[in-house]
Amino acid sequence: MSVSVVIIALPVLVGIVEAFGAGAPMSSCLAFFPKHDGVNKQMCASPYWIEISASSFRPSQEINVTLMAPHGQTFIGFMLNVHRQAGDTEERLGSFINIFEDSTKARSCIGGKDNMVTHKDNSARKQVTVTWKSPAYEVGNVTFRAAFVKSYHVFWTDVTLQLPSQTNIKQSIVNKILAQQVNVDYDDCGKSMGCLLYPRYCGGLDCDVGLTYTMTNSNATFTFWARTEIQSYVSLGFSGDRLMGTDETISCTYDGTIVTFQHGNNPKYYNQRQYKRDQLSSMASTYRDGKLYCTFTRPHAMNVTEFSSEVTTYDLNNPYYVMVAWGHVYEDTAVMSKHKELPVTSLNPVQFNQYIIHRGDALPLLTQIHGILMLIAWIVFGGLTTVIARYYRPIFPGKTLIGTSVWFQIHRSAAIATFLLTAVAFVIIFIKVDGLTEVTELHGWLGIAVMSGVTLQLFGGLVRPSNNSPYRSMFNWIHWFLGKVIFLVAVASCFVVFDTGFLPHVQEKFGTIMTAVWIGLQVVWELVFEVCKRRRLGQNNKMDESTTSPTSNFLLVLYVITLLALVTLASLAIFFF
């Protein structure tokens, strides 16, 4: 990563979505939630419980803790940690010093030492006993919190037990989330505050995603929002490039009752919640008109602790790209799920002491190039390949180009262009995503079908039977039929990609409309060409090769202009949003 950092709102892939048979990952230290392919926790009371060997505690005391299952039941996975009962509840307290079972291990979370325990394997167990050593200093009353996994789809995350301190100290006071409305004065953008607004054409309330920022000598204040559902989150981040990985994040979650602000980082393609050490202030959140608005103030510099215990500092005095991401939280929790829609990213790095209006997009450059090449391939050259072969064989009658009919050379050139553009776009996107992805899997398979079909068509054209061959008529029909099928699959692929949910809503809506307009106009034009063709047919149902129709030639020019206009407008779905 470069020295200039990026605001990456990517708790995005906020979790690893596989089952962890070898124990909870480090990203669970604060999230404390088994992320099993989007499965929600059980809402009923847990059959499992916690037992401890003390009724109160003092500093540096050793206490046995047992996770229990009822008679005849077992659990295959678990997590256990300890935090303050009130005040700063994020810090994980004490350490687990005695691990009695070989199937149990300790984790060192966010700067602590062995302050969480979890399973080593997914074997069935009736109970687990460990020893917890309290901190050497007074922390007040504490809460033991456990998560129990009965099966892949059945687990509980909020099994707790309170343990009072023998010395009743006053709990630390932390910054509270304020009960106030979050408002944005768009008229101040570019004047008294900097802004990121999306889509590019929006100017205020019509913006689906956005960010405002101001900066003082010691702090920076952000307000950010996204169009989303109530049970959701919006997230910001800081990174040295526009890619996810090695980033700092700050997120706001909201489900109508539970509101949290979370500090985190993206070690790779997932988010690890960090201990924010009460560094965020003036926090507030509002859900209004289908958008989640969040605001907070932070110091210029904040640290994140990597898995290796290395501390990385993110300083707002450096330039940053800005990204805003959003997604769903698990039911009745503040745990962020993997977001589906692509985040909106500023086009340029943001210097936070400069108040200007920034614009952003959602698609990475390689993905944009892939989309543009496919649009040109199938709207322009795919359409021409079909229309020339079926309706314009009489064009330039009696004339040849490089030894063959002019219409065939145009048809062949358009087919080769379709193949080459499709092949380049195909290679580009597979390099970008490194294979198929879960979200766009159907679109990917349709793309493979299109690439295979257009390759087969091109090869078939090279080895087609001669005009005198008895197989020529069969070849023509197969060639025509396969061409139509490939074209329809390409159209279907376009509709699918705009219905995957990974593009921002406004981009999906515009893309779907443009795809429908394209296929509608293509059908209309082919009907027009069919009518013109039949008017040129003689009594023997043979094409009159000796004459051309000025009207038909004009229609062809008009058709090409229509295709170019469609490509230009469709490109807005990629570049303008």
pLDDT at 15: 38
pLDDT at 537: 67
Which range is most confident: 396-400, 413-417, 544-548? Answer: 413-417
| Burial 440-449, CB ≥16 within 10 A → b, else e | beebbebbeb
pLDDT tens string 141-158: 999 999 999 999 999 999
The segment(s) of the chain belonging to CATH 1.20.120.1770 are: 365-466+473-539+550-576
Q: What is the mean pLDDT of residues 290-294?
A: 95
CATH fold of the domain at 26-163? Immunoglobulin-like (2.60.40)
Please return the burial class of 312, using the count of CB atoms within 10 Å of its CB with bins 0-12, 13-18 and 19+.
Answer: middle
Read off the DSSP letter of residue 186. G
Task: Give 189 or 390, the one with higher predicted confidence.
Answer: 189
Structure tokens belonging to residue 391: 């309706």
The segment(s) of the chain belonging to CATH 2.60.40.4060 are: 26-163
In the predicted structure, residue 14 carries a pLDDT above the cut 50: no
Task: Give 397 or 175, the one with higher predicted confidence.
Answer: 175
pLDDT tens string 35-59: 887 889 999 999 999 999 999 999 9
pLDDT at 11: 39
Q: Has domain 194-361 been given CATH number 2.60.40.1210?
A: yes
Sequence-distant (6+) residues with CB within 8 A of 374 are 421, 422, 425, 490, 494
pLDDT at 548: 53
HEC assignment per residue over 287-352: EECCEEEEEEEEECEEEEECCCCCEEEEECCCCEEEEEEEEEECCCCCCECCCCCCCEEECCCECC
Q: Is 95 helix (H, G, I), strand (E, B) or coil?
A: strand
Distance, CA of 250 to CA of 248 (rounded, Å): 7
CATH number assigned to the domain with residue range 365-466+473-539+550-576, chosen from the 4 options 1.10.10.10, 1.20.120.1770, 1.20.58.1610, 3.30.70.520: 1.20.120.1770
Q: What is the mean pLDDT of the chain?
A: 86
pLDDT at 64: 96
Residue 329 near residue 336 (C-beta atoms within 8 A): yes
**Residues β-bridged to residue 298:** 220
Q: What is the mean pLDDT of residues 299-323?
A: 88
Task: Give 6 or 31, the one with higher predicted confidence.
Answer: 31
pLDDT tens string 56-84: 999 999 999 999 999 999 999 999 999 99
The segment(s) of the chain belonging to CATH 2.60.40.1210 are: 194-361
Q: What is the mean pLDDT of residues 387-394?
A: 84
Structure tokens belonging to residue 105: 């291990």
Distance, CA of 472 to CA of 169 (rounded, Å): 94
Residue 279 near residue 299 (C-beta atoms within 8 A): yes
Q: Is 213 helix (H, G, I), strand (E, B) or coil?
A: strand
pLDDT at 485: 93
pLDDT at 72: 93
